[in-house]
């Protein structure tokens, strides 16, 4: 697994505007016919998609009149492009920057739920480097992907006084990190720490940005605006079923979803799935924060405002952009309340 898909460029607003026009959806299906939906994920099948696969495997979608096909992502797959071409009705937006980038480009897609209350982004350090917090990383070389420079790096610089002189290019290979005891590397809490430990035999120090105040959501479901306009009941049913799928995946028996994940992605192994699911649960990625009262998938205006204010203060977005065009709270299982 790499982190490149987490910050995939949107860059397809024009195509989305053309392809997501209201005339594109089918309103003729009879009431008893299942509504067919295609969901494009942001990477190859993995535990980070477990709730979607669980909802398929356990019939959560089918019980709500939906026939959902998961279109597996990968290094050459761009979710906005699949939405623009009509190859997908819904897609996974890995992080809040992707969602706001699409809004800034006036792309006709809307985030309708956040599978992850916490963005799983982490920084990883050597356990014997004297680093006990994110603040301790000031002055250390930090391996970052190019797309991260205009994403979570702006928050780190603003909060901790990090400088661009610390940045080293991350090529999705942990060898440079392992070779330099002072180095810090980006990753996902569910992925890179485990692969580093398997490669080196040493358990790295892991710092989840969300636990230090990083305000972004993760794994948001993006819906085409044409789908929202013409089949709002199907969108609501999808959100409800997906939330149930995630609940079952993290708190119940995940074997049904894991079987489908391994079928779609034969390179995935059970040990990787098991540790990733355990970390989703341990770190409260899915059901912490507002989800504890608002239900899995919850988003709030307050959280979105906090994220937008952080990013716009650093010049990522113009202050005139209204972040509320990027998301909708209308399809959530409960009406979320601001903290």
In this prediction, residue 6 carries a pLDDT of 53
Q: Where are the beta strands (DSSP E) in 19-148?
A: 35-40, 66-71, 90-95, 109-116, 121-125, 142-144
Whole-model pTM: value is: 0.90
Residue that is last in its domain, among 188, 212, 236 = 212
Please state whether beta strands 142-144 and 109-116 pair in parallel, antiparallel, or not at all (unpaired): unpaired
Shortest CA distance to 260 belongs to which of 55, 27, 13, 38? 55
| 75 falls within a domain | yes
In this prediction, residue 7 carries a pLDDT of 53
Phi, psi of 56 (to 5 degrees): -70, -50
Q: In terms of domains, do 148 and 295 share one?
A: no
Q: In terms of domains, do 176 and 310 share one?
A: no
User: Hey, CA dihedral for 118, 120, 122, 126, is it positive or negative?
Assistant: positive
| 337 falls within a domain | no
Q: In terms of domains, do 221 and 322 share one?
A: yes
Q: Where are the alpha helices (DSSP H) in the chain?
A: 13-19, 50-57, 60-63, 79-85, 96-104, 152-160, 175-179, 192-200, 225-230, 232-251, 255-264, 270-282, 291-294, 301-313
Q: In terms of domains, do 268 and 155 share one?
A: no
Query: Which residue ranges in the chain fall short of pLDDT 50?
Result: 1-5, 8-15, 17-30, 335-339
Q: In terms of domains, do 258 and 320 share one?
A: yes
Q: In terms of domains, do 306 and 186 share one?
A: no
| 14 falls within a domain | yes
- CA–centroid distance for 153 within its chain: 17
Q: In terms of domains, do 41 and 64 share one?
A: yes
| 332 falls within a domain | no
Which residues make beta-bridge pairs with 168?
143
In this prediction, residue 84 carries a pLDDT of 80
In this prediction, residue 183 carries a pLDDT of 98
* Other CB atoms within 10 Å distance of the CB of residue 328: 18
Rounded to an integer, what distance in angstroms lies between the CA atom of residue 111 and that of residue 327?
A: 4
* Other CB atoms within 10 Å distance of the CB of residue 173: 11
> How far, CA to CA in Å, does 331 sit from each of 21, 220, 228, 243, 258?
21, 13, 10, 11, 27
In this prediction, residue 25 carries a pLDDT of 40
Q: In terms of domains, do 195 and 298 share one?
A: no
In this prediction, residue 296 carries a pLDDT of 97
Rounded to an integer, what distance in angstroms lies between the CA atom of residue 240 and that of residue 283?
A: 23
Rounded to an integer, what distance in angstroms lies between the CA atom of residue 289 and that of residue 121?
A: 17
> The CATH number of the domain where 318 resides is what?
3.40.190.10
Q: Name the residue range of residue 145's domain.
A: 121-212
Number of domains within the chain: 2
Q: In terms of domains, do 26 and 113 share one?
A: yes
| 338 falls within a domain | no
Residue that is last in its domain, among 212, 240, 270 = 212
Q: In terms of domains, do 220 and 112 share one?
A: yes
Q: In terms of domains, do 154 and 285 share one?
A: no
| 339 falls within a domain | no
In this prediction, residue 333 carries a pLDDT of 79
| 300 falls within a domain | yes
Rounded to an integer, what distance in angstroms lies between the CA atom of residue 151 and that of residue 298?
A: 22
| 336 falls within a domain | no
In this prediction, residue 339 carries a pLDDT of 38
In this prediction, residue 257 carries a pLDDT of 98
Q: In terms of domains, do 189 and 203 share one?
A: yes
Residue that is last in its domain, among 181, 212, 243 = 212
Query: Contact at 8 Å (CB) between 274 and 283?
Result: no
User: Hey, CA dihedral for 118, 104, 161, 188, is it positive or negative?
Assistant: positive
In this prediction, residue 77 carries a pLDDT of 85
In this prediction, residue 334 carries a pLDDT of 63
Query: Contact at 8 Å (CB) between 108 and 224?
Result: yes
133 burial level (CB within 10 Å; 0-12, 13-18, 19+): exposed
Rounded to an integer, what distance in angstroms lies between the CA atom of residue 6 and that of residue 337?
A: 28
Which residues make beta-bridge pairs with 142?
167, 184
């Amino acid at each position: 697994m790499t982190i490149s898909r987490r910050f995939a460029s949107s860059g397809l607003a024009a195509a989305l505007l053309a392809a997501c026009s209201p005339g594109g959806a089918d309103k003729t299906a009879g009431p008893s016919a299942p509504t067919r939906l295609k969901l494009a994920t942001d990477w190859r099948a993995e535990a980070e998609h477990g709730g979607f696969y669980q909802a398929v495997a356990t019939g959560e979608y089918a019980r709500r009149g939906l026939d959902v096909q998961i279109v597996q992502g990968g290094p050459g797959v761009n979710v906005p492009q699949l939405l623009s071409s009509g190859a997908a009705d819904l897609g996974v937006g890995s992080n809040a920057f992707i969602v706001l980038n699409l809004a800034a480009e006036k792309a006709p897609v809307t985030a309708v739920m956040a599978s992850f209350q916490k963005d799983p982004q982490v920084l990883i350090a050597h356990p014997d480097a004297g680093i006990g917090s994110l603040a301790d990383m000031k002055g250390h070389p930090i391996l970052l992907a190019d797309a991260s420079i205009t994403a979570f790096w702006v928050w780190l610089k603003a909060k901790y006084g990090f400088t661009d002189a610390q940045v080293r290019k991350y090529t999705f290979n942990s060898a440079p990190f392992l070779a330099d005891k002072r180095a810090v590397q980006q990753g996902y809490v569910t992925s890179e720490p485990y692969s580093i430990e398997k490669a080196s035999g040493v358990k790295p120090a892991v710092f989840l940005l969300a636990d230090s105040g990083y305000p972004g959501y993760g794994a948001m479901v993006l819906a085409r605006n044409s789908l929202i306009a013409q089949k709002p009941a199907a969108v609501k049913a999808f959100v409800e079923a997906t939330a149930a799928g995630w609940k079952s995946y993290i708190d119940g028996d995940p074997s049904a979803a894991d079987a489908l994940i391994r079928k779609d992605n034969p390179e995935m192994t059970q040990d990787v799935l098991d540790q990733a699911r355990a970390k989703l649960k341990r770190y409260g990625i899915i059901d912490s924060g507002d989800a504890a009262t608002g239900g899995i998938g919850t988003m709030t205006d307050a959280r979105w405002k906090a994220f937008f204010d952080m990013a716009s203060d650093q010049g990522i977005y113009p202050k005139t952009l209204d972040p509320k065009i990027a998301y909708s709270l209308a399809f959530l299982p409960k009406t979320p309340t601001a903290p």
